Structure 1
Amino acid sequence: MRSDFGGSDTPVNIRDLWQTPFNIYQNLNDEFNFVGDVAASDINHLHMNYLTEEDDALTTDWNSVFGSGYKWCNPPYSDIGPWIDKAASERSLVMLIPADVSVGWFKKALATVDEVRLITGGRISFVRADTQEPQNGNNKGSMLLIWHPRRCEDSPRFTTVDRNELMDRAMVSVL
């Protein structure tokens, strides 16, 4: 079910185009060595190889586009469910999503995901598509869902990572 973003003052045409802060992406890229971004746009992509809405990532074979290796995904938050389904079938994916364990897509993810990393220590200030500036006021925390190439266990491992450590470690690696 699609969200109506109740209370959002973001213009409708850019509500699904928020960009992950580069430092967070870079830190995760250092760990996973991403081969592509499966849910991007020409304005918000962080990897040189990416799929846009026009490429229809949900019906595209990601391995045929990017080869083997981990893919990055910051999906449109208005409809996360189909991205969970696709990740379960494709695997090798790191997905950044709202930390909301009360929704159906989270329960569905638990059946196939290998790791859930809750991001603690504050909310992420995503980059707004029209201004290219980080925007405070994110109304939810965030988490990472990680699908490894092969299913590791019957149930996912739960860990935490501090938002500031994600930002700081990435800044060191970029310098």
Structure 2
Amino acid sequence: MLISNTPKSFKDRWRTPVDVFKTLDAEFGFKLDVAADESNALCKEFLTEQQDALRCDWNSDGAIFCNPPYSKIMPWVKKAAEQYRRQNQTIVMLLPSDTSTAWFQEAIKTSHEARFITEGRLSFISAETGKEGKAGNSKGSVLFIWRPWRRLGCRMTYVQRKKLLKRA
């Protein structure tokens, strides 16, 4: 088991690699980042911890991006399943690839696509240092995508890590 040395105050604040976000943004056109703060927001519009994205609507005029705190993923998955319909917007959530969890099963039941990132792990940006984590992520990653115009039924796809790291 890998033990993290990240201080507790920074543990849930790892930032999505900018190149990965740019590649996804070129595909989806994100307008709102719902799990962010001033130091790690990737969209002009974002919801902070103080705004409490789990208690408010994710009002957006375009696609919504979410790299939630990994310590409590289930509430974020349930919120995405509610908000894609309410907002009539695509939601893309970046999560660890852990098929053994209840939140993963919930995401499979409510999303339209699970896009597994293959051939390597993402190196997230430390909130403490502002640099890529040296050891990389302890798990692979998956993108869950909720689309308002699709029927339920999650299809499994994949994308190579190197394709996400190319600038859009």
Scaled to the shorter chain, the TM-score interval is over 0.9
1:27 counterpart residue number = 23
CA distances 1:33-68 after superposition (whole Å, capped 9, x unpaired): 0011000011111111100110000111112xx2x3
In structure 1, the residue matched to 2:78 is 85
Q: Which structure's residues are more often helix, by fraction?
A: 1
What is the CA distance between 1:6 and its match in structure 2? 6.9
The residue aligned with 2:3 is 7
- Look up the match of 2:46: 50
Assess if the C-alpha contact under 8 Å between 1:126 and 1:136 holds in 2.
Answer: no
Equivalent in the alignment of 2:87: none
Q: What aligned pairs does 1:1-175 form with structure 2 within 5 A after superposition? A: 7-63=3-59, 66=60, 68-91=61-84, 92-137=90-135, 138-150=137-149, 152-168=150-166, 170=167, 173=168
Q: How many residues align?
A: 162
The alignment partner of 1:119 has SS state of strand
C-alpha distance after superposition, 1:111-152 (max 9, x if no partner): 1100000000100000001211111321100000000123x2
Percent of matched pairs sharing the same residue: 44
| One-letter identity of the residue aligned with 2:62 | G
Q: Tell me, yes or no, if the aligned pair for 1:38 and 1:73 is still in contact at 8 Å.
A: yes
Provide structure 2 residue ranges, at least 5 long, that are not aligned to the other structure. 85-89
TM-score, normalising length: structure 1? 0.89
Aligned 8 A contact 1:24 1:167 in 2? yes
**CA RMSD, Structure 1 to Structure 2 (Å):** 1.3
Equivalent residue of 1:108, what SS? helix
The residue type paired with residue 46 of structure 1 is: L
Matched letter for residue 105 of structure 2: K
Partners in 1 of 2:92 and 2:152 — Cα distance? 18
- SS of alignment partner, residue 45 of structure 2: coil
Contact kept? 2:120, 2:161, Cα under 8 Å: yes
